[in-house]
Structure 1
Amino acid sequence: MHKVVFVVKGKRQVEFLAGQRENLLEAARKAGIMIDTPCNGNGTCGKCKVQITKGRVDALSLTRLTEEEIADGWVLACSSEIIEDIEVNVPDLASAFQNEMQITDLSENENKNIRYVRKKMLKMGMTDSNRLCCEIIQLPEPTNDDNLADEDRLKRYFRQILGYSDIQVSLDVLRKFPDAFRENSFKIKVVYLKRGDIAEIMDVRSCLECACALYGVALDIGTTSVSACLVNMDTNEIVSKASMGNAQVKYGGDVINRIVYTEKPGGLKKLRDAIIEETINPLIGQMVQSAGITTDDIYEMCAAGNTTMTHLLLGINPDHLRREPFIPGVNTIPEMKSTEIGIRINPEGRVYLAPSVASYVGGDITAGVFAVPVWLQEEFTMLVDLGTNGEIVFGNKDFMMTCACSAGPAFEGGEISCGTRAVPGAIEEVKIDDATLKASFLTIGGEIPVGVCGSGIIDLICEMKRTGIIDGKGRISKDIDNPRIAFDEYDIGRYFVCSKELDGTAKDIYITEIDIDSFIKAKGAVFSAIHTLMESMDMPIEILENVYVAGGIGSNLGIENAIALGMLPDIPVEKYYYIGNSSMQGCYLALTLAEGKEKIAEIGQNMTYMELSVHPSYMDAFISACFIPHTDMSLFPSLQK
């Protein structure tokens, strides 16, 4: 056995005993150290760089490392084997992103959208209430003449006073009755769930303070990030918000890599623990601490995630999601008690998961459509959810068609040399001077630049095309004599956004032709999915009246640049709306409208899914879209002008 010391942010964090020739990345995972691995340790992304400061490892591959980095002891964790006692420096960017990520939550603009949609739904006849009820009850104390059991005494009250015909109580709640009833002379607080004339008793407490605060959680389970808000169910007020990176990232940056990891011994349990124990429960803990309540005060959760995330959350084998004919184990999940899946809210609390439609169109989309809402619109409307996967929904109140494409991690900085997720210091906006070709940029939080995130990559490539640094194929021009442009020994070009030599920055941040090619494929996948979906219905792009852009990529997305690169359809910019985290908005609405959950289920059943991978024209459309902006310029008339 060898001792491994992991140093994070300059502090000695974990001492761990590793086996002879154990893989360094696997050792870090076992020790609970977060190392960014979008490619799931396949050695292709180069993101798992760590520095060996004491001892040696057997570095099986040094690809994507510079000679300077190798000389300073940097290795790829996924390609290194432990052969002696070592000390490992884990860079902040790799280790801290989970807690420092900038993630879309319910901003003021999104709250405005919620208010607008709620108002519209209420006009349609939906009920401005939820299923949770709280009653302060004074029961008559038992006597020799009135000697009903505690359970029968409570049920009598519910039948005679509150008018319920059936009262259901679980064994765990029954166990509370004797002490809770007698602590304050049979004055009690009862929390229950109403289902028509049925009351499900969820909690009984002695009424000493007689506060009737009820809380719910709206939760968006993204592949990269997880966001939540704590809702006062009496007032519908959002009292706390929290978000962090999905801890499953250490097992792969996309759903396919995570599905593959589940095939390893214990892999499914590790992924399930990562999302529940390392992500969701800590988020809940943060929110209850901020709000000054306890987890027992939370009685309901409405959650949504893509189909793979739902399977991993429930511990259901997801392997068939990636194999033709791409069949999920489950689409519609019955409502569960929190204890069934290990989520730490009230033990009797209910967890609702928005239903999926297909392998690659999940509950995040059905919840998102509920919030947009496509299903209410007279006009032809489209929802484009951009993330690791790209999901598209097109239709109106009469029909809805949906499809999904594999955009890959490029929009979130994955498989980009200096790409990063949206962490402090990530470059999110870029401009390039026409004369000097020097880039000016803004970083998240105004911090020192650490890399380029999704919106910054879009701006950067668009500016490189505009200034002639690259051509339509993404190739860097060799005719430009500028110190910010360089070619390596393999003749692969790169452009320096900032450099130690030219700008005195702490590190070089650049983009290569290989990076640009990865982005072009990602944007081509999104546009060709939109184009194929519309073409399959004989609908011209011009028919679109509203296009809602959702997802973390959209928070700083320049629509004009996205159109100029051929990522989004060339229609007037004023028809585009950034909707933010539509999934969590839908979950919030489902919590606070009595019919919300049923409506999301109805939306899922009414959506028609088109599998792009077997569609005869999709691959041709994808190849045509792998150009800036497109090989068919008639699709981009405004750019021709």
Structure 2
Amino acid sequence: MSFAENGRFHYNRKENNMMKKVLFPNQNKEILCQENDTVAVACSGLGYPLDLVCGGKGTCKKCTIEIERDGIRQEVLACQEPVSDGLIVYLKYGDYKHEASILTDRIETELNIDPPVKKIFIDKKFLKTPFYYGDWEHIQAKVPVRINTPALCLLQKLSQLMQKLEMDGITLVLRDEQLLDIEQGDTSASNYGFAVDLGSTSVVAYLYDLNSGKKVGVYSALNGQITEGADVISRIMAAMKNSEGLKILQRKVAETINALILEAIQQNQISAENIYTMVICGNSAMQHIFLGLHPGSLGRTPYTNTILSEVLTTARELSLNIHPNAIIDFLPLIGGFVGADTLAVLLALPEGERQGNRLIIDLGTNGEILLGNEKKWLATSTAAGPALEGATIRFGMRGTNGAIERVKLSEGKIELKVIGGEQPRGICGSGIVDAVAEMLKAELISKEGRLLSPGKYLKVCRPENQRFANYLANLDGVSVFYLMDEGQSGDNDRIYISQKDIRAVQLAKSAIYTGCMLLMKEYGLEGEDLEEILIAGAFGNYIDAPSAQVLGLFPNFSNVPIRSIGNAAGAGASNFLLSRNIRINTLILLAKITHFDLAANPAFQQEYLQNTGF
């Protein structure tokens, strides 16, 4: 592939007769591609990566774009369509601009602020080394903490600084007993760290002043890896299918984090060199890819990880644009696909909320479930798939402008709430849950999940709901329910929920519900034994809990409240960053968590099938 900017080509390999020129008139750009490249590859090569939810398999249809070949315009799947010489691609902004509403709110807990990175300023008057003595030994004697012998590069820097007569002192940057840097002058006021929730779909970074423990800012973006697939299995396959796959994925996530770093330092007018540590949590696949560990073993039985323990490395090794010696701390995994993000959810809970029995459901691209109390926790993951986030739904989309986020059916009327107040372009996860729950309550769907025909519906519905029969139809042999009147969507397609969509929701909700119930059975708890049900994660925060319980996505136990705790993983990573007590107790907490393998449970398949009904 050869890159073009402003209409001019930039060749990065020897041109030959097999190269194909592809035109992008909306961007006023062109690109040369190899004969076997797809339109999606051409878009990515120009810097406009498409949202390949299915990993380029051609099943999600989210990369549908308009092209012109030999004078004929048509819509194609970019991930499947081969390029040809003179191909015109009419790429629109919405095709490649991946924006979404990303959950950044987190629960706050009272902490004794004691971060791992501290600065010690030594005034020049205390730096005069005694005769025949060593500079470093003299400095070590002047500070109240023990410091390991510095790396050679820092000793070299010290030798230069000690020759500067105009210097007013030096600042030592310490991570516990490790020296990260020696800085000229008093820089002790500038000491920052990041806590990062590295999700499969989104990345949220919290910047903290480590001197005060104050949160300086919150920054978020979609994970750049979404162009390689929506779920972790797609990412694992992308890493395995070619020799450069892992490097590409690792680079994309580093670029995502670096973009957030750049936003933070520009907004707060601080130096990236004054960011000395970063705590990261993520699921097992994200840990492997971020650290450059091949994730192949996660994609096949027995689903082993390269390492479960906490991993410490440096910003330099991971190409992160903060202080090169900054310590990057990836929190420990629990086991299988239950990663550091699930551990971080527990770290976010105040001590009092770990005492009573709690069921915690972390809903994102994957579902992780925790059950227990301060003495013992069981943890599991379930492959709910991306349907609940809109990935495999016909009109599914991320939670961005134009997405239907709320649906209400009442007395023959359909009420929609659309993000941004725009014309509806699709429906996001919370809207899908609402829509199917409302359709179920209006008896448009049977308990088995069958969408009724207009004639059958009129025989069973309540009189005030008869008008809903006008929204039932059959398209190419598939039953659908329209969410709007003709013309209501403007130039966009008339949005509907299909029988296939309902089935996808059934399979997803059954996976979560079955996981919860089997975990309860394994622990030996009944519903009435629970203090409450907590919902964590982006998707869990936006959905309507009663709608989710109508579907059977969440268990519904009498007198057991259910509440959202926001981005608990980000909160736990922040607590780990700021509190020595949290860091010390993490290993103690980890020893109380047992991984429960749902797939190996002989009852899982049977109960999963039974729970697909509403």
1:89-109 per-position Cα deviation (integer Å, ceiling 9, x unaligned): 334344111xx221111x3xx
Contact 1:184 1:206 in 2 (8 A): no
Q: Which residues in structure 2 correspond to 1:109-120 (within 5 Å)?
A: 110=106, 113-115=107-109, 118=110
Does the CA-based 8 Å contact 1:301-1:349 persist in structure 2? yes
Structure 1 position 11, deviation (Å)? 3.5
Q: Please give the residue correspondences for 1:168-187 in structure 2 after superposition, counting only pairs within 5 Å.
A: 168-183=149-164, 185-187=166-168
Of the three residues 138, 141, 145, the one matched with 1:156 is 138
Distance of aligned partners of 1:350 and 1:296 in 2 relative to their CA distance in 1, 3 Å threshold: same
| Deviation by residue 1:164-195 (Cα, 9 ceiling, x = unmatched) | 34443223333433444455634234242253
Deviations 1:83-142 (A, max 9, x none): 212232334344111xx221111x3xx3xx323xx35xxxxxxx4311221122123488
Do residues 308 (structure 1) and 246 (structure 2) align?
Answer: no
Q: Which moved more, 1:496-505 or 1:231-240?
A: 496-505
Q: Percent identity?
A: 27
Secondary structure of the 1:408 match is coil
Please state whether the residue corresponding to 2:585 is helix, strand or coil. helix
Q: State whether residues 374 and 396 of structure 1, in contact with CA within 8 Å, keep that contact through their aligned partners in structure 2.
A: no
State TM-score, norm by structure 1: 0.86
* Post-superposition CA distance 1:2-28 (Å, at most 9, x none): 122446xx534x532101232222333
- String of CA shifts for 1:493-543, please: whole Å, max 9, x gaps: 112223553564633222111011001100010000001111123321221
Aligned to 1:636: none
Contact 1:308–1:359 (8 Å) recurs in 2: no
- 1:122 counterpart residue number: none
SS of alignment partner, residue 599 of structure 2: helix
Partner of 2:418: 443
In the alignment, structure 1 residue 570 sits paired with structure 2 residue 552: no
Distance 2:298 2:350 in 1: 27
Answer yes or no: is 1:89 the counterpart of 2:67. Answer: no
The whole-number CA distance in structure 2 between the counterparts of 1:529 and 1:145 is 68
Contact 2:167 2:184 in 1 (8 A): yes
- Structure 2 partner of 1:38: 53
Q: Who is 2:65 aligned against?
A: 50
Pairing partner for 2:442 from 467, 492, 503: 467
In the alignment, the residues of structure 1 paired with residue 61 and residue 494 of structure 2 have an alpha-carbon distance, to the nearest angstrom, of 15
Q: 1:4 matched to which residue of 2?
A: 22
Q: Please report how far the alpha carbon of residue 275 of structure 1 lies from its aligned counterpart in structure 2 after TM superposition.
A: 0.8
Output the amino acid matched with 2:575. L
Partner of 1:17: 32
Q: Aligned runs of 1:231-270 on 2, under 5 Å?
A: 231-265=208-242, 266-270=244-248
Return the alpha-carbon distance in structure 2 between the equivalents of residues 547 and 326 of structure 1: 28
Q: 2:446 is aligned with what amino acid?
A: D
Aligned with 1:531 (options 489, 492, 517) = 517
Q: Output the CA distance in 1 between the equivalents of 2:396 and 2:496.
A: 9
Following superposition, the deviation at residue 40 of structure 1 comes to 0.7
The structure-2 alpha-carbon separation of the partners of 1:284 and 1:184, relative to structure 1 and needing over 3 Å to count, comes to farther
Contact 2:53 2:230 survives alignment (8 Å): yes
Distance 2:127 2:338 in 1: 56
5+ residue gaps, structure 2, are 1-18, 458-466
SS at match of 1:84: coil
Question: Distance in 1 between the 2:271 and 2:100 partners?
Answer: 26
- TM-superposition CA deviations, 1:372-417 (whole Å, max 9, x none): 2589622101210011111100000110001110010011110100
TM-score (norm 2): 0.90
CA distance in 2, matches of 1:407, 1:297: 41
Where 2:487 maps in the other structure, the secondary structure is helix
Tell me how far apart the structure 1 counterparts of residues 387 and 165 of structure 2 sit (CA, whole Å): 60
Secondary structure of the 1:613 match is coil
Q: Which amino acid letter does the alignment assign opposite residue 513 of structure 2?
A: F
Number of residue equivalences: 583
Using the alignment, how far apart are the partners of 2:400 and 2:57 within structure 1?
24
Contact conserved, 1:139 with 1:154, CA < 8 A, in 2?
A: no
Which range is displaced more, 447-456 or 267-276? 447-456
> Kindly tell me: are residues 281 and 569 of structure 1, through their superposed partners in 2, closer, same or farther at Cα, counting changes over 3 Å?
same
How do residues 189-588 of structure 1 correspond to structure 2 at under 5 angstroms?
A: 189-195=170-176, 199-207=177-185, 210=187, 212-265=189-242, 266-277=244-255, 279-373=256-350, 377-435=354-412, 438-478=413-453, 479=455, 480=457, 482-490=469-477, 492-498=478-484, 500-501=486-487, 504=490, 506-572=492-558, 575-588=561-574
Task: Flag the 1:440–1:144 CA change in 2: closer, same or farther, 3 A.
Answer: closer
**Most deviating of 528-537 and 442-451:** 442-451
Moved more, 595-604 or 451-460: 595-604
Question: Structure 1 residues 467, 135: CA separation in 2 closer, same or farther (over 3 Å shift)?
Answer: same
The change in CA–CA distance for 1:525 and 1:468 in structure 2 (over 3 A counts) is same
1:294 maps to a residue whose letter is S
DSSP-derived class of the 2:183 partner: strand
In structure 2, C-alpha distance between the alignment counterparts of 1:143 and 1:154, rounded to whole Å: 11
> Is the 8 Å Cα contact of residues 528 and 559 (structure 2) preserved in structure 1?
no
| CA RMSD, Structure 1 to Structure 2 (Å) | 2.3
Q: Provide the rounded CA distance (Å) in 2 between the counterparts of 1:324 and 1:485.
A: 43
Per-residue deviation, 1:53: 4.3
Amino acid at match of 1:470: I
| More displaced 10-residue stretch of structure 1: 288-297 or 86-95 | 86-95
- Tell me: CA distance 1:154–1:80, structure 2 relative to 1, closer, same or farther (3 Å): same
Query: Which residue identity does 2:431 align to in structure 1?
Result: G
- The 3-state SS of whatever aligns with 2:564 is strand
Alignment check: 8 A CA contact 1:35 1:250 kept: yes
Helix, strand or coil for the counterpart of 2:59?
Answer: coil
- Report deviation, 1:153: 2.1
Q: Secondary structure, in 3 states, of the residue corresponding to 1:212?
A: coil
- CA–CA distance in structure 2, aligned partners of residues 549 and 145 of structure 1: 61
Q: Which stretch of the first structure deviates more once superposed, 498-507 or 289-298?
A: 498-507
Q: 2:121 aligns with which of 136, 161, 167?
A: 136
* Mean CA deviation greater in 453-462 or 178-187: 178-187
Change (3 A) 1:87 1:399: same
Equivalent position SS for 2:108: helix
Q: What SS does the corresponding residue of 1:263 show, helix, strand or coil?
A: helix
Q: Show CA shifts across 1:44-69 (max 9, x none).
A: 1111111114657xxxxxxxxxxxxx
Task: In structure 2, give the amino acid aligned to 1:414.
Answer: A
Q: Give unpaired runs (5+ residues) of structure 1.
A: 57-70, 120-126, 629-641
- d(CA) in 1 for partners of 2:560, 2:331: 31
Q: In the aligned structure 2, how far is the partner of 1:413 from the partner of 1:455?
A: 9
Distance of aligned partners of 1:299 and 1:73 in 2 relative to their CA distance in 1, 3 Å threshold: same
Residues 1:183 and 1:49: Cα distance change in structure 2 (over 3 Å) = farther
Corresponding residue of 1:63? none
Give the match's secondary structure for 1:621.
Answer: helix
Question: In structure 1, the residue corresponding to 2:30 is in which secondary structure?
Answer: strand
Task: Give the direction of change, closer, same or farther, for the CA distance of 1:144–1:86 in structure 2 (3 Å limit).
Answer: same
